[in-house]
């Protein structure tokens, strides 16, 4: 028996089991725990979404339309031009770890489809973090003040309905290298590490990269968003 083949088979088999477990954990609406910074079920049907997490962040809906069916119940539909959610909470200031989770149904467009953005001008607030889809890729971009940007990216087919997206970063997690998963499978490769805290800010956006800065609005539907102050595997 070829021991090397057996070992590789066990490694790949374990990876498949972990991917299946990650995806299975997201096949129900997200739950709240002690690491939850923001939890949006997006089932309000009208007006502004409500944060179901412990921090009760202020969430302002800038034009996104309520639609059903979503991935679970209702969802928000973003037009790719000027729709977004603005979220205010001091619990996101200077995070040393973060996990971004969402169910997305992406409509391809010529410019980047922003899923999530945290921070303001990096020269004022510190490193910003941007999660976006773009022409068959999904990327997590960290922009430090006065330094080169750090990008973790990978190929991802987000067409054909709903997909579970998770982005993970921690300055002491995975040697400071961000990771991206789609439907439980890791799609990002290795990259440059980042081992300092994120922006000292109280603002984050869903569906937009700093409103008014470029045509980087999300086009499609988003349901079930959870932001955590822990690098969740």
Residue-level pLDDT at 214: 74
pLDDT of residue 91: 85
End-to-end Cα spacing for the chain: 34
Residue 190 CB neighbours (<10 A)? 10
Average pLDDT per block of 10 residues along the chain, 233 residues long = 48 46 69 96 98 96 97 96 94 91 92 89 68 94 83 92 97 95 94 90 90 86 97 91
Return the pLDDT at 36.
97
pTM of the model: 0.87
pLDDT of residue 5: 47
In this structure, how many other beta carbons lie within 10 angstroms of the beta carbon of residue 212? 7
| Other C-beta atoms lying within 10 Å of the C-beta of residue 69 | 11
Q: Transcribe the chain into DSSP letters.
A: --HHHHHHHHHHHHHHHHHHHHHHHTSSPPPP-TTEEEEE-----SSS--B-STT--EEEEESPEEESS-SSS-EEEEESSS-EEEEE-GGGTT-SEEEEEEEEEE---SS-EEEEEE-S-HHHH--EEEEEEETTEEEEEEE-TTS--EEEEEE----SS-EEEEEEEETTBGGG--EEEETTEE---------S-----SEEEES-SSTTSSS---EEEEEEEEEESS---
Q: What is the CATH number of domain 3-228?
A: 2.60.120.200
Q: Is the dihedral of CA 219, 186, 213, 44 positive or negative?
A: positive
Q: Give 11-59 pLDDT, tens digit per residue.
A: 344 444 545 555 555 689 999 999 999 999 999 999 999 999 999 999 9
- Cα–Cα distances (Å) from 192 to 67, 148, 179, 231, in that order, read 39, 11, 12, 17
């Amino acid at each position: 028996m070829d021991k090397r083949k057996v070992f590789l088979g066990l490694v790949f088999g374990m990876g498949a089991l972990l991917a299946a477990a990650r995806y299975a954990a997201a096949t129900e609406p997200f739950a709240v725990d002690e690491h939850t910074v923001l939890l949006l079920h997006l089932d309000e049907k009208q007006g502004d979404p409500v944060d179901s997490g412990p921090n009760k962040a202020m969430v302002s809906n800038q034009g996104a339309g309520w639609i059903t069916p979503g991935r679970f119940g209702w969802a928000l539909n973003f037009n790719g031009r000027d729709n977004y959610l603005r979220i205010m909470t001091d619990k996101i200031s200077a995070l040393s770890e973060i996990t971004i989770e969402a169910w997305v149904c992406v409509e391809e467009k010529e410019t980047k489809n922003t899923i999530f953005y945290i921070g303001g001008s990096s020269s004022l607030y510190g490193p910003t973090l941007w999660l976006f889809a773009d022409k068959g890729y999904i990327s997590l971009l960290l922009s430090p003040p006065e330094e080169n940007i750090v990008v973790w990216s990978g190929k991802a087919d987000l067409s054909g309905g709903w997909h579970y997206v998770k982005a993970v970063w921690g300055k002491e997690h995975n040697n400071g290298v961000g990771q991206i998963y789609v439907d439980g499978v890791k799609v990002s490769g290795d990259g440059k590490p980042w081992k300092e805290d994120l922006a000292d800010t109280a603002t984050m956006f869903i569906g937009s990269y700093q409103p008014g800065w470029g045509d980087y609005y999300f086009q499609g539907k988003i349901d079930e968003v959870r932001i955590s102050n822990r690098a969740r595997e």
